[in-house]
Structure formats: structure tokens, C-alpha cells
Amino acid sequence: MKQQLTSQRVGEGYTRVDHPSGLTILLYPMEGFASAYALFATRYGSVDTSFKTDRDSDFITVPDGIAHFLEHKMFDAKDGDVFERFALTGASANAYTSFDRTAYLFSCTDNFAQSLEILLDFVQNPHFTPEKVLKEQGIIGQEIQMFDDDGDWRVFFNLLGALYHNHPVAIDIAGTIESIGKIDADLLYQCYNTFYNLNNMVLVVTGGFNPAEAIAVADRVLTTASDIAIERRQPPEPPEVRLPRVEQSLEVAVPLFQIGFKAPPAGYPAEVGQSLRCEMLLEILAGEGSELYRTLYDSGLINASFGTEVLAGGSFISLILSGESRDPDAVLAAVKQAVADLKSGGISDADFELARRMLYGRHLGAFGSVRGLGSLLLQAHFSESEAYAMLEEIAAIQKQELLPLIESHLNPEHSAISIVWPSAKDTQP
């Protein structure tokens, strides 16, 4: 079944195909673009460590990092290295695992059909052996050790570890050396057979390509999957933070900091609207046009690295401010004062409209980028929404809807700071 989705705001449209195999296919050809971009993704990420299907009698709990491990192993196909197959078509291929999804992707300017066939083929044909699993444990173990010394990585996951008591979002996406040592081929196949069911996946294609050609490849390569219901289980998570502060010293040039506010999750599909409103709230609080940003920047407490983000999934959401500073505690004090001022003084009409325009512009800008649009379509689909609906949601937000979020989503009692200091202790204030 095909459904055409259009937007008067954007003046474009794209096609959603509910393929007989069970896969959802989103096709967004972009006039004037030479390159094509394809994402073949499953709603399965690092937080999905306890789950069952409607065919299982009970939940299974798997080692941390197994989703990322599985992503790595998919490229080690039975008939050789997948990257070598893509090299023959001239496509650039990659993959990533996040907290709530795993995606395999390529971009190309020629040989689109051949590259798409490779993508759909290798992701449907896993090949795991004890010998290759053991080899991969060593490779990923080295990767984990490398990121243990990365300041940007550590300041982020240290913050999550401070915010969350039990939720697996606090665990490194790659897991730990100990946890990946528990992974074996049988566990990989169990996770694959659960989450790589085509009914739990989506194919997104954007840019310069022929939609009919994409459908023809899908018809030829995809096999029909029996639908299954997946139930995910998360441990109970209190609203309070685990630690208000965490510090570490590493080989960094200047102190790094991240300030996080732990907020109550909304679940899907409400998470979409909640995340957009939180983005607006952070823009009002600490965007480049805010008083807080100007004060911190003019005083030299922050530099151009300063930014904000909303980290959100169905079972977690945090509002994060991050950057470099010679005095992270002064930044923290200023942020908390700005939150208090916002709570007592409210939001001006001018600040609200500026934040809405900034947010709308960022999302609209994705429609002019092959990769940006692909990521937006993927995000919307796994959030049980669609790309144009997100623009309409932004346009419909009212100022009064943000006011309760100041209390519930920017609560200083539910905040934490993570700092990575330079190893030379005399650099600390």
C-alpha cells in the first residue's frame, strides 16, 4: 500500500510504502540533487537490554553493548567483507548504534540500485560464529578503552551516570569490556531475530534516485517476515538524580562541562511534542539570543563550543547544556539563576517567537540536506510521527504550554553537573 504525504509549508511530498514484506519504506526524491542517501534501520538500541516477544514465555536480559556489537558483526558477512561489496559500486557505507536505534546506510552518486541491493541483502543475512565473536570482542574492547580517554565522551556519559540510577541510558552504548565478554553467537542471533524483523524496521531513501527503482529492488530482495510484538522492559527509575556532581581528570586542554536536567519521560508518540517544546525552552534559556548566553560569553566563561540539546527517547528525557569553561561552577550558578528568573518572570512574547523561529528554521533546513532529511524522516518514524507533522507541531506551540515545563523539566533539584578537568590540577579554579 502506498500513501502520498505532502506539505503546503514545504511545497513537497514523499511516499510511504507499506511493503508486503512488513517493511515500511519512505521515499523522498529531491529535485536537483545528484547523490542518493539510504538508511535501513531497526528500532533497537543500547537501552533495549530486557525484552520479550509474544512468542516468548518470559523476558530475557542481555549484556550491555550487544546492540552495538551486533551492528559491527553484520558487516562481517559469510561471503566476505560488506565494505568491499560497496566499494565495487562506488558507494560510501557506514552504520551507527544509538540509545534507541541501529541504522545501516550508504550514499552514492551512481549505481544506486546495486548499492541498495547490497544494503538490503547483508542486513537480512547475519553470520555469527564463535571464532568471529571472540575476535570482535578484542576489537570492540580496544574501542571502549580508547573512548575511556576521550574527554567529550566521558563528560557526557559521566553526566548520564549522575542523572540516572537504573536506566540503561547511563551505560556506554558500546558496553564495558566485562559485558561484551558475555556475548556469544546464540545471543546475537536471539537479538537479531527479535529486533531485525522487517516489521520493526524502516528503509528511508532521500536525494537523487528513482522511487520505482527502489521499490523494484525491495520487491526482489526482501522476504516476507512474520509480524511479532516486542515488549521492552526498563528498570524502575526514580525522578531524583543519582549524584548532583561527578568529576574526572583527563588529558584535555581546558575544562569540559555538561549540565543536565532529568525530566519525566512521556513515551511515544507524546515524546515528539515534549522534545520540541523542550528544545524551545532551552533556546529561550540559553540560546545565542538569550541574556544568559550573552552574559556568559561576554565574561569569558563560555566560548563558541557552548550548546544545548534534548536527549530523548520513549523512556528517558534530559535537557543538557555543555561546553568548555575555565570555571564550570560559575556557569552552573548562572544557569540555575537564569532558571529561577525564568520561573519568576515568565517568558516574553519576543523571546518565545524568536525561539519558535529558530526551532522551525532548524527543522525546515533539514529538508534541504540529503542526509539531514534522511535523519529527520527516520527520527519521526521511530517516534511514531512523520516529518511534516513535526513542522506543524512547532507552528502550533503556544507560549503557555512551555510555562509548566520550567517547573517539571528544568528543576534544579533534579539536575547534575559533569566536569572533566585537565590533568594538571593547578588549572582548576
| CA 157 to chain CA mean position, Å | 14
Residue tagged active-site, from 71, 136, 237, 279: 71
Which run of H or E residues covers position 161? Answer: helix 151-163
* 71 noted as active-site residue: yes
Residues 221, 40 contacting (CB under 8 angstroms)? no
The three three-digit cell numbers of residue 358, written as one number: 529558530
Helices (H) and strands (E) in the chain, counts: 15, 17
Q: Which residue has the cell 546475537?
A: 188
Classified as helix, coil or strand, 82 is helix
Q: Tell which phi-psi region holds residue 313, choosing left (phi > 0), alpha (psi between -120 and 50) or beta.
A: beta
Residues 16, 26 contacting (CB under 8 angstroms)? yes
> Which of 169, 143, 175 lies closest to 156, judged by CA?
169
The three three-digit cell numbers of residue 180, written as one number: 561484551
* Cα(230)–Cα(427) distance, integer angstroms: 50
> Which of 379, 398, 399 lies closest to 389, judged by CA?
379
Residues 24, 96 contacting (CB under 8 angstroms)? no
* Cα(176)–Cα(10) distance, integer angstroms: 44
Give me the amino acid identity at 120: L
User: Which positions are catalytic?
Assistant: 71
